[in-house]
Structure 1
Amino acid sequence: MTMRAMLMPSFGGPDVFECREVPMPRCAPDQMRVRVHACGVCGHDLLNRAGHFPHTRLPAVMGHEIAGTVEEAGPLVTRFAPGDRVAMIQRMPCGVCALCRSGRENLCTSGPGFYGEDVSGGYGSHVLATERNAVKLPDSIPLEIACTLSCAIGTGFHALRRAQLTLGDSVVITGASGGVGIHTVKLARLLGLRAIAISSSPDKVERLRAAGAAEVVVAPDFQFHKEVKELTGGLGADAIIEIAGRPTFASSTRALRAAGRMVIVGNVDPGSVALNPAMAILREMDFVGSAHATVADLQKVIALVERGEIAPEIAGVLPVEDAAEAHRRMEARGTSGRMVLLHGGGG
C-alpha cells in the first residue's frame, strides 16, 4: 500500500522535491493514521532542505505543520476515532519520559521524533500521530487554517510564555514579518504587551502595524538597538523574541534592558553567535531557548482562534505538488505570514 508524497531524496535547492509513491505508514496499536489535508511551510523546512540538519533521515518527507482527518486508529487509541479532524504538534513524543510527564513533550528525544526529519511529515498524504501529540479541532476552523496553529502561532505562544512578561511590558520581535514573527506580534498585542517589530523591508511596515505592532523598526542592516533604546526611554526592551537568530543577535543583546530576557526561537543563518559575557553578567541578562509548542500550547491556540481573538495570516495556498514554488517564494522573502500546501483541495 502506497501514498503520494513530495519526497526529498537529497539535500539541495527547491527543485530537489520529487512527487513519488512511497510506502503508506502503518499504525502501531497506540497510533493513528491521519490523512493530511494541509501542511504549512516553515522556515525550518528551508533550512532542512538546504542540509543544515544532517541528522534528517533521507529520503525524507518534510512538513511538521499538519492538519487532517483521522483515517485509522489502533486498538489502544481511546480518545480519537476515524473522522476526527485533528492538528498535531511538531513532534511525536514517547509520553513516558520525565520531560513528557512534566508537560514538556516538545523536548522529548525518546519518541518517534520530529515530523519531516525523524518521521514522515505533511508533504505526504498521510502521517502517523498519537493521543500524545494530536488535538481535536472544532468544525469552525478550516483545515488549511488549522495547519498553522501548532508552529506558526504555537511557537510564538510558547516563546511569550517563556518570556514571563506582564501587562504593558515591551517586547522586541525580530523576523517579525515571517510566519512565526507576525503571529507573535498578534499574540503580544492580545496579551497587552508593547510589541516592537523588526523588519528588514519597509514594504512590510503597514502589515505589521495592522497585526498589532506598536512600533516597527526597519533595519535592512540588522542594526536596530539604537532605535529600540530611543523608543524605550534609553532603557531597552523588557524582552526580545529572537526569531531571526545570528543576523540580529548582536543588536538584540544591545537592545535588551538590564535584567531583561532574550527568548531564542530561531536561527535563519545557522551557526554560532558572539556574546560578551561581561555584558550578560553586569546587566544580569537572561537567555533562554524556546522549542516549538506543547500540546497545552496548541489547545490554547485553538481556543483563541475559535473565539476569533487571533486570525492566522496566510501568505499563499498552493497544491502540495508546488512545494518547490512555496520554498522559492519564502526564500525570496516576499511573503508575510505562512505558506500552506494542500492535498487534494484541503478541507
Structure 2
Amino acid sequence: MREREAMLVARFYAPGDIRLEEAPEPQAGEGELKIRVRNCSTCGTDVKIHRHGHHHIVPPRVIGHEIAGEVVQAGRGAAGWSTGDRVQVIAAIPCGACTDCTRGRQTICPNQESMGYHYDGGFAEYLVVPAKVLAVGGVNRIPDGIGFAEASVAEPLACVLNGQEIAGVGEGDTVVVTGAGPVGCMHVRMARARGAARVFLVELNRERLDMSAAVVSPDAAIAGDPVEEVLRLTGGRGPDVVITAAASNRAQEDAVRMAARRGRISFFGGLPKDDPVIPLDSNAVHYRELSILGANGSSPAHNRRALELVASGAVPVADLITERLGLGEVPKAIETVAAGSAIKVTVEP
C-alpha cells in the first residue's frame, strides 16, 4: 500500500507558537470531502488565538476558518461532489438537530463546532471537510467569475449579512459603522446593497480610516469624537442603525449615546473576555425605545447568499484583499492583521 503523500500545515501549539510542519495528507472518509486549499483568509479571531489560545482548541491544531479550495477526493456517501469542484466551506458548524437549529436559528446552536477549532482548518495544503459539515449544507459551490480568494471572504461577509438582517438595515437608513477593518468595510458595502441612504465609517486610527475609506467610500469618515460628529451630520437626530464592528467597549457606549429614537444598535464585535461589561444608560434605552441586538456568526444559508452577493457585484470584496501571503508566512499574516496595515489578508497555501 502506497504511503500517503506529505503536505505542509501551519499548526498552533501555544500562544505565540505556530509551526510550519510536514504532515501526512488526510484522506476523505464516509460522507467527507478532501479539498486542496487555495485560499484561507485571516481575521481578528486568528489574532486572538495566536496571542491567547482558545478554550475550544486543544493543541496542536491547524487553525484557519475562512476556507476556499477545490475537491480532490469525495468519500463514499458524499453524493453530488466531484474532483475539481470549486468550493467554499462554512466556519461555524451547527448540529442541525437541536431546538434552535430546527427553528431556523442555526447561528445560536448550543452544540456548534467550528473549522480550525474542533477540526483542522485551512492553513494547510489539504484538509478534510467533516461529514457533519456536508450534512448541514455547509459546502458551497463557488460561482463562476469568483476567484478562490474572494470566495474565502464569503465567510466573514456571511456574518455581516446575518448582523444586518438582525438589525433590519434597509431602505433610507442612516447607518454608522464603527471599526474600519475588513469587517467594517464589508458592513459599509452591505448597508449600501440593502438600500441605506447614508453610511458613516468611524475609526480612531486615522491611517487605518483613510486606507479603508479610500476603498469603500463612506459618506463620511470620522475620527475623533464620533458622537458629536454623527449628531452634527444628522441634524441632532442620530443614525437609524449603529454597528459596532470593533472589539471596543467605548464603541458600544458611544452607540447608545448617538442612536436615533427607535434606533437599532448591533453589538457585532464581541468584547474581550476579561472586560465584557459596559455602563448602560437604561433610561436612554427606555425613553428613546432603542433596540440593542447581538450578532453571532452565520448559518450555511448566509454563506450561500454571501457568495451570491459577491458574484452579482452587489457587495464587491476583491479590492478589500490587499495582502496575499504563502503558507509559511501565517504568523506574518496574523501580525499584519493585528497591526491593521492591510485591509484583508489572505493565505495561499
- Same fold flag (TM > 0.5): yes
The aligned residue for residue 229 of structure 2 is 227
The aligned residue for residue 202 of structure 1 is 206
Count of paired positions: 333
Aligned partners of 2:111, 2:276: CA distance in 1, in Å? 27
Residue from 173, 177, 180 that aligns with 1:169 = 173
Matched, 1:8 2:9: no
Matched, 1:266 2:269: yes
What displacement does 1:34 show?
A: 1.8
Matched, 1:133 2:134: no
The 8 Å contact of residues 70 and 83 in structure 1, kept in 2 or not, is answered as yes
Give the structure-1-normalised TM-score.
Answer: 0.89
The aligned residue for residue 305 of structure 2 is 300
- The amino acid across from 2:239 in the alignment is A
What displacement does 1:26 show?
A: 4.6
Q: Which runs of 5+ in 1 are unaligned?
A: none
The 8 Å contact of residues 18 and 50 in structure 2, kept in 1 or not, is answered as no
- The amino acid across from 1:285 in the alignment is L
Structure 1 segment 105-254 matched on structure 2, within 5 A: 105-110=106-111, 113-129=113-129, 130-131=133-134, 132-151=137-156, 153-175=157-179, 177-193=180-196, 194-203=198-207, 204-205=209-210, 207-208=212-213, 210-219=215-224, 223-245=225-247, 246-254=249-257
Identity among equivalent positions (%) equals: 26
What displacement does 1:268 show?
A: 6.0
Q: Secondary structure at the match of 1:119?
A: coil
Residue from 329, 339, 345 that aligns with 1:339 = 345
Aligned partners of 1:206, 1:33: CA distance in 2, in Å? 38
Bigger Cα displacement from structure 2, 92-101 vs 131-140: 92-101
Aligned partners of 1:108, 1:127: CA distance in 2, in Å? 24
What displacement does 1:100 show?
A: 3.0
Q: Secondary structure at the match of 2:72?
A: strand
- Provide closer, same or farther for how the CA distance between residues 96 and 74 of structure 1 changes in structure 2, counting only shifts above 3 A: farther
The aligned residue for residue 43 of structure 1 is 44
- Provide closer, same or farther for how the CA distance between residues 239 and 66 of structure 1 changes in structure 2, counting only shifts above 3 A: same
The 8 Å contact of residues 103 and 294 in structure 1, kept in 2 or not, is answered as no
Residues 255-299 of structure 1: CA deviation (Å, up to 9, x unaligned): 112221111221364421312333323322212211222222222
- Provide closer, same or farther for how the CA distance between residues 320 and 196 of structure 1 changes in structure 2, counting only shifts above 3 A: same
- Provide closer, same or farther for how the CA distance between residues 102 and 170 of structure 1 changes in structure 2, counting only shifts above 3 A: same
What displacement does 1:318 show?
A: 0.4
Aligned partners of 1:102, 1:76: CA distance in 2, in Å? 27
Q: Secondary structure at the match of 1:303?
A: helix
- The amino acid across from 1:53 in the alignment is H
The 8 Å contact of residues 189 and 212 in structure 1, kept in 2 or not, is answered as no
- The amino acid across from 2:219 in the alignment is A
Structure 1 segment 273-288 matched on structure 2, within 5 A: 273-274=277-278, 275-288=280-293
Q: Which runs of 5+ in 2 are unaligned?
A: none
- Provide closer, same or farther for how the CA distance between residues 54 and 20 of structure 1 changes in structure 2, counting only shifts above 3 A: same
Q: Secondary structure at the match of 1:7?
A: strand
The 8 Å contact of residues 47 and 335 in structure 2, kept in 1 or not, is answered as no
- Provide closer, same or farther for how the CA distance between residues 23 and 249 of structure 1 changes in structure 2, counting only shifts above 3 A: farther
- The amino acid across from 1:310 in the alignment is V
What displacement does 1:20 show?
A: 1.2
